[in-house]
A and B are shown apart, each in its own frame.
Chain A
Amino acid sequence: MNELMLLSIEKSVAGRGSNVIPAPETAAYALPDAFRRKDAPVLPQLAETDVDRHYTALAQRTYGVNCGFYPLGSCTMKYNPAVNEAAAKLPGFTGAHPLAPAHAVQGCHAVMDELAAALCEIAGMDAFTLQPAAGAQGEFFGMLCVKKYHEARGESHRVKMLVPDSAHGTNPASAAIAGFTVVSVPSRADGLVDTQALQALLDDTVAGMMMTNPNTLGLFEKDILAISRMVHKAGGLMYYDGANLNAILGQARPGDMGFDVTHFNLHKTFSTPHGGGGPGSGPVGVKQSLVPYLPTVASLGQPEGLQLKAFSGNFAVLVRALAYLKTLGKESLGDVAAHAVLNANYLMKRLTDAGFTPAIAAPCMHEFVLTLASLKESHGVSALDVAKTLIDYGIHPPTMYFPLIVHEALMFEPTETETRETLDHVADVMIRVLAQAKQNPDAMHTAPHHAVIGRPDDVKAARTPVLHW
């Protein structure tokens, strides 16, 4: 047993614990037996010191943006400003009840109104709902808006949602659970949507098209205006997946490219922390024709309208995003994209010069994809081996094996908040890793060697699931 990694329950000693809550000031209420469980739930019993140390140890075995370079492509792991955290922790916000009378939560309304207005301006959209809890929920909501729109026009036969083959997995999944039939649109050799193939797919059953721009290869879809025109002409709507918005923030707007509906990820572009897998926030912006389908803010239950979660959204995340926008203002907002794209191109150039192969040999936007297919063939070293070796150098690996259309893919997104020195260091490490791959590839198959564990047995985890103590 790895002594370091004992579970809280394994540290539990009967009788330990803290008295946090005083006893009732009245007699205990005698709940009838039918409503009493027979045995108390088995939870850990730990001294306060040990709870503190347990979670401290867990934090120490977790790699955050505060620990080092985190170039997880498509995830925009930028620095999470401390001032935003301070704003989110203001008692006036944390103590606000979601069903308090409107006059008591004017501050919350103001935060949401201000943020929605700013997002409209950034997106080139007419209205935003801040309710979706995450990007994927935003996609789902956007798809439902598209469905409502066609239904209202008596065009329920529009069941086809076009999704490029380079898209994130959430896109087809979101379209499918909204009831659409997903049709994949192929990419050309240059990594962009094949407009001829698209034209062939357009007919009166098309409900719309979902696009990420720049796409998951980090390339701007240059034909976007033509694509929008084609889809609109066929009677479809254009959906903008805001996963890669950081590349164009303040420089170009989805609404100006012909998109009718979009979601943004506040936890990517707007610097709110990822929390180890949430909470995020995925506001959805729409053009005028879709405004009627947005949820009403702060009403209890919407019997007719669409509603994605209880109450108004991940409010504390919205506070952070607004604090970020207030700090940056209009001057710095466009610089975010400029520096994100500069950093990505600089790192790609250094890696290309060092002998790595980009999936597409063209300037990138905020991220780029390397293909290690030739290294795999020549020396047997895979994208996985390189990623795991980076861990031993104290660097979080880039996104691996995505997009699916690139073999042995490693996708780097440095973000704008990294210094030139960090990028140079990462490039230097990658050069050493490449040399190692050619000289001593075997050691890389078992990397990392200096992490708290080696590579875990994923097959065993799935075949004989152990999901709780």
Chain B
Amino acid sequence: MSHYHPHTQADTSAMLTALGLDDTDALFADIPQSVLRKAPLSLPDGLGQMETLAAMEALADQNIRYRLTLRGAGCYDHFIPPLVSQLAGKEEFVTAYTPYQAEISQGILQAIFEYQSLICALTGMDASNAGMYDGASAAAEAAVMCRERNRTVTLVSECAHPDTLAVMRTYAYGTGHEVRVVPANDGHADLAALQTMLTGDVASLYIQQPNFFGILEDVPALFAAAKANGVKCILGANPMTLALMPSGADVGADIVCGDVQPFGIPMAYGGPSAGYLAATAAMLRKLPGRIAGQTTDAQGRRAFVLTLQAREQHIRREKATSNICTNQAHCALTAAAYLTYLGARGLQAVAERCLAHAHAFAQMLCQIDGVTMRHQGEFFHEFVTDLPVAPHRVQAALEAEGILSGLPLAGGMLWCVTEKASLAQLQRAAALVKEACAQ
């Protein structure tokens, strides 16, 4: 048994004496007797730290550790440079609170300011907040930003990640607003269907790029249709693709959001990561959450602060449009360190390798009898193939050699290839798929 409260018996006695109390039970005199516990909780006995770590290791060992992950679907196995983990792991970054006290928090505030700058550079937006819970909740809050008195409905493409759609529906349920789903056509958001849905009550359109099936949407066309009907445009972008692909500004987005998990943040069973949320200058005052800004101190020196707080819940209380406090600062800082370390050239190198290897793998798979691309269209590093056998058989075949297959879908598989996969590994994976399909 170990613990972290440092008092010796003598300390406790002396402090109780100073308070005129007989024992620590007296500290809880205000709790009704019927509520106060007389016996310890029904929990295990405490462990020494050595035993705790061993117990946690035993739990971690119950997970399969794959040598290669070919599954994405919103969580990506990219290489994490050791320097990034080392810098993010600095204890001051890990243990600090939200930087309310600017004078002794300049480091974390500058890190957030730089994060916002990096997000603006990638998205082409005018302003980024300091971070959201994740990409799905960022999308939900983006929809909130777009609502106006007579325009409250959010349109979401059926090709968005199912979790994003579910989270957007949950947030809309809270405020009693409606989410309508734009149907898919061959793995794309259906432009013709969209055009019939752009009614006067629609506030915003959310398009995910690349979409859940990996396909690259014709975002400029979708957004042009929306804009022509006075509808605000939200782009949900995997930020890794923005190394190569048009920014939100390039495609006419009012808001760009997504998840920075690909930037140096481990998969860790899906969390934590951080959502990013950036917008045009016109929407700046509607951004929820923390925002760091640059100002000066009395001597005119550069200084960073949390700013525009009049938007936030601790000032506006029930009149706030969001209740968010956290900005997942440590994940945002990790993403900033990743981007700062790689630079544009390094980031493009990651993206180009994802792109090239994913396409090479798609080609290998499509040479297998019965394996075909499910959708027509360009993709980045994810794509769906149909399979001639039950997807779980392919999953099992790959797992036997330590490879996590793509995500099984009905009759097919959603594959993801990152820069971590070597050509030899992909060739081996394709051979295993071929064997499984032949059985």
A380 at the interface (CB under 8 A from B): no
Pick from A25-33, A200-208, A234-242, A368-376 the stretch touching chain B: A25-33
Q: What separation, in Å, do the CA atoms of A176 and B284 have in the docked complex? A: 22
A351 at the interface (CB under 8 A from B): no
Closest 4 pairs between A and B when the two form their complex, measured CB to CB? A301-B162, A329-B46, A311-B270, A92-B60
A283 at the interface (CB under 8 A from B): no
Q: How far is the CB of A118 from chain B (nearest CB, A)?
A: 6
Q: What separation, in Å, do the CA atoms of A311 and B275 have in the docked complex? A: 13
Contact of A94 among B48, B90, B268 (CB under 8 A): B268
Would you list which residues of chain B between 319 and 370 have a CB under 8 Å from chain A? 319-331, 333, 337, 339-350, 352-353, 355-360
Would you list which residues of chain B between 5 and 45 have a CB under 8 Å from chain A? 5-7, 11-12, 14-16, 18-19, 24, 27-32, 34-37, 40-45
A135 at the interface (CB under 8 A from B): yes
Is there contact, CB below 8 Å, between A327 and B61? no
Q: What separation, in Å, do the CA atoms of A31 and B242 have in the docked complex? A: 13
Contact of B167 among A40, A256, A307 (CB under 8 A): A307
Pick from B111-119, B196-204, B223-231, B430-438 the stretch touching chain A: B111-119
Is there contact, CB below 8 Å, between B317 and A172? yes
Would you list which residues of chain A between 1 and 34 have a CB under 8 Å from chain B? 1-2, 5, 7-9, 16-29, 31-32, 34
A121 at the interface (CB under 8 A from B): yes
Is there contact, CB below 8 Å, between A37 and B247? yes
Would you list which residues of chain A between 325 and 369 have a CB under 8 Å from chain B? 325-343, 345-346, 349-350, 363, 365
Is there contact, CB below 8 Å, between A456 and B97? no
A164 at the interface (CB under 8 A from B): no
Would you list which residues of chain A between 307 and 334 have a CB under 8 Å from chain B? 307-317, 319, 322-323, 325-334
Name the B residues within 8 Å of A278 (CB-CB).
Answer: 98, 131, 272, 274, 326-331
Name the A residues within 8 Å of B3 (CB-CB).
Answer: 327-328, 332, 335-336
Closest to A350 in B: B18
Q: Which residue of B11, B162, B170, B331 has the most chain A CB atoms within 10 A of its CB atom?
A: B170
Q: How far is the CB of A410 from chain B (nearest CB, A)?
A: 13
Is there contact, CB below 8 Å, between A92 and B101? no
Closest to A110 in B: B59
Is there contact, CB below 8 Å, between B75 and A59? no
Is there contact, CB below 8 Å, between B97 and A75? yes
A426 at the interface (CB under 8 A from B): no
Is there contact, CB below 8 Å, between A326 and B46? yes
Name the B residues within 8 Å of A104 (CB-CB).
Answer: 63-64, 66, 399, 404
Is there contact, CB below 8 Å, between A455 and B243? no
Name the A residues within 8 Å of B40 (CB-CB).
Answer: 250, 330-331, 333-334
Name the B residues within 8 Å of A51 (CB-CB).
Answer: 83, 87, 337, 340-341
Q: What separation, in Å, do the CA atoms of A98 and B269 have in the docked complex? A: 4
A405 at the interface (CB under 8 A from B): no
Contact with A along B86-115 (1 / 0, CB 8 A): 110011111111111111111110111110
Q: What separation, in Å, do the CA atoms of A143 and B171 have in the docked complex? A: 12
B305 at the interface (CB under 8 A from A): yes
Would you list which residues of chain B between 269 and 288 have a CB under 8 Å from chain A? 269-272, 274, 284
Q: Which residue of B53, B268, B328, B339 has the most chain A CB atoms within 10 A of its CB atom?
A: B268
A432 at the interface (CB under 8 A from B): no
Contact of A95 among B79, B266, B349, B353 (CB under 8 A): B266
Is there contact, CB below 8 Å, between A64 and B116? no
Contact of B164 among A21, A310, A396 (CB under 8 A): A310
Is there contact, CB below 8 Å, between B293 and A64? no
The size class of the interface chain B forms with chain A is 35 or more
Known contacts A175-B318, A309-B133; A58 and B108 CB within 8 A of each other: yes
Q: What separation, in Å, do the CA atoms of A314 and B358 have in the docked complex? A: 29
Name the B residues within 8 Å of A387 (CB-CB).
Answer: 101
Q: What separation, in Å, do the CA atoms of A446 and B110 have in the docked complex? A: 22
Name the A residues within 8 Å of B297 (CB-CB).
Answer: 453-457
Known contacts A96-B63, A451-B104, A469-B117; A461 and B325 CB within 8 A of each other: no
Q: What separation, in Å, do the CA atoms of A300 and B137 have in the docked complex? A: 15
Contact with B along A70-99 (1 / 0, CB 8 A): 101001011111010111101111111111
Besides A24-B356, A51-B87, A279-B330, 6 more A-B contacts (Cβ < 8 Å) are: A40-B348, A64-B92, A104-B399, A134-B324, A173-B318, A300-B162
Q: What separation, in Å, do the CA atoms of A363 and B25 have in the docked complex? A: 13
B150 at the interface (CB under 8 A from A): no
Contact with B along A97-125 (1 / 0, CB 8 A): 11111011111101100000010011000
Q: What separation, in Å, do the CA atoms of A121 and B44 have in the docked complex? A: 11
B155 at the interface (CB under 8 A from A): no
Name the A residues within 8 Å of B419 (CB-CB).
Answer: 21
Contact of B63 among A93, A175, A331, A465 (CB under 8 A): A93
A197 at the interface (CB under 8 A from B): no
Name the B residues within 8 Å of A136 (CB-CB).
Answer: 313, 323-326
Q: What separation, in Å, do the CA atoms of A26 and B363 have in the docked complex? A: 12
Known contacts A92-B63, A274-B97, A311-B163; A339 and B5 CB within 8 A of each other: yes
A452 at the interface (CB under 8 A from B): yes
Is there contact, CB below 8 Å, between B128 and A107? no
Name the A residues within 8 Å of B247 (CB-CB).
Answer: 37, 41
Q: What separation, in Å, do the CA atoms of A469 and B117 have in the docked complex? A: 6
Q: What separation, in Å, do the CA atoms of A248 and B93 have in the docked complex? A: 29
B188 at the interface (CB under 8 A from A): no
Would you list which residues of chain A between 432 and 469 have a CB under 8 Å from chain B? 446, 448, 451-458, 460-462, 465-469
Name the B residues within 8 Å of A170 (CB-CB).
Answer: 313-314, 323, 325
Can you list 30 A-B contacts with CB-CB less than 8 angstroms, sorted by A residue number?
A41-B344, A62-B99, A62-B108, A98-B271, A105-B64, A134-B324, A135-B325, A137-B133, A169-B312, A220-B31, A225-B32, A250-B37, A273-B95, A274-B96, A276-B96, A276-B97, A278-B98, A279-B330, A300-B73, A307-B166, A309-B163, A310-B161, A310-B163, A317-B272, A331-B46, A337-B28, A396-B101, A453-B106, A456-B295, A460-B296
